[in-house]
Amino acid sequence: MIYAEVIGDPIEHSKSPIIHKHWFEVAGMEADYRRTRVGEGEVEAYLEKRRADADWRGCNVTMPIKFEALEQADVKSDLAIAASAANMLIPHEGGLAAGNSDVGAIVMVLKALHEAGRAMTHVALYGTGGAARAVLVAARTVGLHAITIHARDRQKAIKLAVEFGLSREPRTMADAPQADGVINATPLGMVGHRCLSCDVAGIDENGWVFDMVTAPVETELVKSARARGLEIKDGIDMLVEQAAVSFEAFFDAPPKRERDDELFARLRA
């Protein structure tokens, strides 16, 4: 049976199999989507096995191996190069192609916030990894340039700010954001990872929070935002959109999404 999968470490929390298997069911497809733990330094050995498997259609890649996955690819999309991260690897003409569907999914979330009339002048971004880089590429795409990076490692934040031409000085995670919205592109708030900055008192009253964490969906940051009446976009919003791009890349057909209301309900249960 043909299959795709998601790789990373940890991987048990991933909801990607739920999404793809739902779409298989809706389409009546005979296929599978799995979780496989692959840690840092293990990507090359993992791919050596998969390259020889005729049923393998590719994989999504999650933390902390998105950059390592990019390095292993023979062909790299412009978005993957810009983000310095691959969240998708696909067999391509005897080699491997790297893509980044995170960027497009983030663009869709940011556009939805704009269309909802939310304040979008200044954004606080938590993180400096592959997900944060995808946010910066997406923000550039939609013309959002006033961004303050908050990070545990301030030197990494400064380096990233210089690379993307940000004019605002980075802050630490202990600094409460003063912005229209917050994007959490870190694992902070995920099961086993304490939230280090859940203070949203400085967010505009017409503001918002976009938390990429998916397990749990209701993170402490999301709870704080809900208590203030802010607009909330959670990791499920992003996850489903990037999964749709991945599904089409893996299986040469877009997912049938007429029953996505059932899918979202299940993912948020």
The predicted structure's pLDDT at residue 193 = 73
Same domain as 248, residue 177: no
Same domain as 110, residue 206: yes
Domain assignment of residue 20, given as a range: 3-99+239-268
The predicted structure's pLDDT at residue 63 = 87
Are the C-beta atoms of 64 and 42 separated by less than 8 Å? no
Q: What is the pLDDT of residues 167-203, one digit of tens each?
A: 999 999 999 999 999 999 998 887 777 776 789 999 9
Same domain as 217, residue 165: yes
Q: What is the pLDDT of residues 108-154, one digit of tens each?
A: 999 999 999 999 999 999 999 888 999 999 999 999 999 999 999 99
In this prediction, residue 265 has a pLDDT band, given cuts at 50, 70 and 90, of very high
SS (H, E, C) 191-245: CCCCCCCCCCCCEEEEEEEEECCCCCCCCHHHHHHHHHCCEEECHHHHHHHHHHH
Same domain as 155, residue 116: yes
Same domain as 255, residue 169: no
Read off the amino acid at residue 170.
P
Between the two ends of the chain, the Cα-to-Cα distance in Å is: 30
Q: Which residues of 208-233 are buried (b: 16+ CB within 10 A; e: fewer)?
A: bbbbbbbbbbebbbbebbeeeebbbb
Same domain as 151, residue 176: yes
Q: Which residues are catalytic?
A: 66
Query: Can you give the pTM of this predicted structure?
Result: 0.87
Same domain as 93, residue 210: no
Same domain as 66, residue 155: no
**Number of folded domains that form the chain:** 2
Q: What is the pLDDT of residues 215-227, one digit of tens each?
A: 888 999 999 999 9
Same domain as 107, residue 95: no
Q: What is the pLDDT of residues 53-105, one digit of tens each?
A: 999 999 999 989 999 999 999 999 999 999 999 999 999 999 999 999 999 99
Per DSSP, the residues of 47-93 read: HHHHHT-TTEEEEEE-TT-HHHHHHH-SEE-HHHHHHT--SEEEEET
Same domain as 150, residue 95: no
The predicted structure's pLDDT at residue 195 = 75
Same domain as 201, residue 107: yes
Instruction: Please tell me whether the peptide bond between 255 and the residue prior to it is cis, using omega within 30 degrees of 0.
Output: no
Quick one: what percent of the chain has pLDDT higher than 70?
Answer: 99
Specify the CATH number for the domain of residue 170. Answer: 3.40.50.720
Specify the CATH number for the domain of residue 25. Answer: 3.40.50.10860
Same domain as 253, residue 223: no
